[in-house]
Amino acid sequence: MTLHPAEADSGIVFRRTDIAGGGAEIQATWRNAVETPLCTAIVHPSGVRISTIEHLMSALHGCGVDNVLVELSGGEVPIMDGSSAPFVFLIDCAGTCELEAPRRALRILKHVMVSDPERSASLCPGDGLSIHFEIDFDSSCVAKQEWFAKVHNGLYKREVARARTFGFLHEVDRLRAMGLARGGSLDNAVVISGDEVLNEGGLRFENEFVRHKVLDSIGDLYLAGGPILGHFHGVRAGHALVLRLLNALMADETAWAWTDLTESDATQQAETAGATVPPIRAVAASA
């Protein structure tokens, strides 16, 4: 995978370099996303798919990157260690550049919610982006966890980026039979067997599980096409439910509005990555 700089207002675009004819380009927006139970995927009209984009999308949001071309030599973003920290590190090493165009954000104007009997996801008005997430698993190793955070003042790097994806050992055979998790190992996920974490060194945070759900949500919400100014609340919500939430939000044109970020808004968004910048777009340099 290679990240290339992109022009203002081009957004986040993925390109498959292994596809004949110059590669299929797919805009990373809710319009091109499809519901999948275990990851976030976007699909080209031709049927070309790119999967597991959520950790990279989360890192791009956390680093304040609005415009970037992501080249991939296959159909899936590298899993790395199961978190977004490696992507954040490489983006920081490459650096970002500012463009002469205002940063835009999607301001939430009223409450929107989707749910099923056991899960829910909602957005409501708020200053900056804040996230409240709740999970509940039968395993006592995970159990009930809840976390609230306003995503600014460098919090993403400190408290979110290093949280790894997780799964249960008894699910591995079923997933591999479905063609999933073929590269899954203790190197790129927290693996739980019964009520025990199998990874050497244990967890990076006591509540790493719910923090990773926050990481996923930040990446999935970035499919709105820009940073969100509002409050997200997820209760056992997964990728598919967050995508349904974005579809419900966009279907109600009275529930949102695009706005140029003010100096205060932009500072909050930029401080996600630990630095203050003017309210103008940023792009990733090659990484």
Mean pLDDT of 187-204: 89
How high is the pLDDT of residue 181? 52
The percent of residues above 90 in pLDDT, for the chain, comes to 71
| Structural domain total, the chain | 1
Range of the structural domain that residue 169 is part of: 2-284
pLDDT in tens, 216-247: 999 999 999 999 999 999 999 999 999 999 99
Q: What is the pLDDT of residue 271?
A: 47
Q: State pLDDT tens for residues 244-271.
A: 999 999 999 999 999 998 766 655 555 4
List active site positions: 239
CA distance 193 to 280: 47
The predicted pLDDT at position 172 comes to: 67
CB count within 10 Å of CB 125 equals 14
- pTM, full prediction: 0.90
pLDDT, tens digit, for every residue of 2-44? Answer: 999 999 999 999 999 998 876 789 999 999 999 987 899 999 9
Does residue 108 have a pLDDT over 90?
yes
Average pLDDT over residues 165-174: 77
How far apart (Å, rounded) are the C-alpha atoms in residues 229 and 251?
A: 18
Examine the pLDDT at 86 and tell me if it is beyond 70: yes
Cβ-contact 157, 275 below 8 angstroms: no
- Dump pLDDT digits (tens) for 37-63: 789 999 999 999 999 999 999 999 999
Tens of pLDDT, residues 273-286? 444 333 345 554 44
CA dihedral (82, 49, 93, 261) positive or negative: negative
For the chain, give the number of residues: 287
pLDDT at 276: 37
Q: Which of the residue ranges 90-99, 113-122, 170-179, 205-214 would you say has the lowest mean pLDDT?
A: 170-179
Q: What is the mean pLDDT of the chain?
A: 88
Half-sphere exposure of residue 280: CA atoms within 13 angstroms, side-chain side = 10
CA-angle at 120, arms to 223 and 242, nearest 5°: 10
Whether pLDDT at 201 is above 80:
yes
* Phi then psi dihedrals of residue 102, to 5 deg: -70, 145
Torsion of CA 43, 46, 48, 50, to 10 degrees: -20
CATH number at residue 99: 3.30.1700.10
